[in-house]
Amino acid sequence: MELILATAACDPSVDIICAPANVNELFEFREAIFTIAGFPVTRTVILILSIALIVSAFLFFGLRKKSIVPTKFQAAVEAIILFVRDGVAKEIIGEHGAKYAPWLLSIFLFILVGNMFEVTPFINFPVTSRMALPVLLAVITWVVFVFAGIKRQGFGYFLGIIWPSTVPIFLRPLVGLIEFFSILILRPLTLAIRLFANLVAGHLMLVLLIVSGWVFISSVGDIGARAGIGVAWFVMGLGIFVFELVVIVLQAYIFTLLSAVYVQTSLYPEH
């Protein structure tokens, strides 16, 4: 409803495309719905907490009765867990990767459900399009892969980054500088921006197309046959909906995959 109000300034008899007047609507913080002990609770916070509930319930009810012949639901849950454990953790990190599987599974399911809110009717808001959440997830990944490196190689991990011994000695300062920036700064930054920008872009496309369609079709009395453009916007919006479903799953997968790759490179720097 708020999104529809954003186009109130749009005059469909003049404008071809009705863009929300203020795109910053997506980035601004809304007022808190209520406050618990000084912590303001916004819609985003409620959605984040509901992600935790949904994921916990999904895993709990899926794995409650571990029968030999699984029900369909249990088989689906097990398929996702096996996909993350064998397809991501063991394949990327190696045999010892199963240790990281619970963390990767949490990241995967959290981002997947958070992204799914983008196409859930009546919610239509990907929680991961708030920059705070991708940044938090990227910082967690950063902490995990830096600590994995320190645990395995000691402080030689940092030495290996800024003074790489496989490079000719006169190139080491330059390569070390580039490696330092790319591993410790650019990695978490791009990890966060990738998730954030994909979801914002998808959300913007959906909002523009479907809201434009709604504005045009609903003003059929004023502008006559030109309202037909709205049908085209609407159909395109539904096409983007399907495309976004693919993006949602792919982004959750890519975030998990890249986290695993980063852990792998800090565990086995020779590869």
**Angle at the Cα of 99 from the Cα atoms of 94 and 104, rounded to 5 degrees:** 90
Among 7, 128, 141, 198, binds another protein (CB under 8 A): 198
Is residue 83 close enough to count as binding another protein by CB under 8 A? no
Structure tokens at 215: 């504005």
Structure tokens at 227: 């309202």
Select 23 or 57, whichever has its Cβ closest to another protein: 23
CB of 35 to another protein, least distance (A): 30
CB of 213 to another protein, least distance (A): 23
# residues contacting another protein (CB under 8 A): 18
Structure tokens at 152: 């395995």
Select 33 or 178, whichever has its Cβ closest to another protein: 178
Where b means 16+ CB within 10 Å and e means fewer, 44-80 reads: beebbeebeebbeebbeebeeeeeeebeeebeebeeb
The region of 3-11, 53-61, 64-72, 254-262 touching another protein under the rule CB under 8 A is 254-262
The region of 12-20, 46-54, 134-142, 193-201 touching another protein under the rule CB under 8 A is 193-201
Is residue 19 close enough to count as binding another protein by CB under 8 A? no
**Angle at the Cα of 145 from the Cα atoms of 93 and 171, rounded to 5 degrees:** 95
Dist. CA 227–CA 12, nearest whole Å: 9
CB of 32 to another protein, least distance (A): 24
Select 227 or 263, whichever has its Cβ closest to another protein: 263
Could you tell me which of 76, 131, 85 has the C-alpha nearest to residue 108? 85
Among 58, 83, 241, 253, binds another protein (CB under 8 A): 253
Is residue 91 close enough to count as binding another protein by CB under 8 A? yes
CB within 8 Å of 198: residues ≥ 6 apart: 247, 251
The region of 57-65, 116-124, 156-164, 187-195 touching another protein under the rule CB under 8 A is 187-195
Select 174 or 201, whichever has its Cβ closest to another protein: 201
Dist. CA 161–CA 179, nearest whole Å: 6
Among 201, 231, 232, 235, binds another protein (CB under 8 A): 201
CB of 146 to another protein, least distance (A): 20
- Provide the residue type at 158 as one letter: F
Dist. CA 18–CA 7, nearest whole Å: 7
**Residue ranges binding another protein (CB under 8 A):** 23, 27, 91-92, 190, 193-194, 196-198, 200-201, 250, 253-254, 257-258, 261
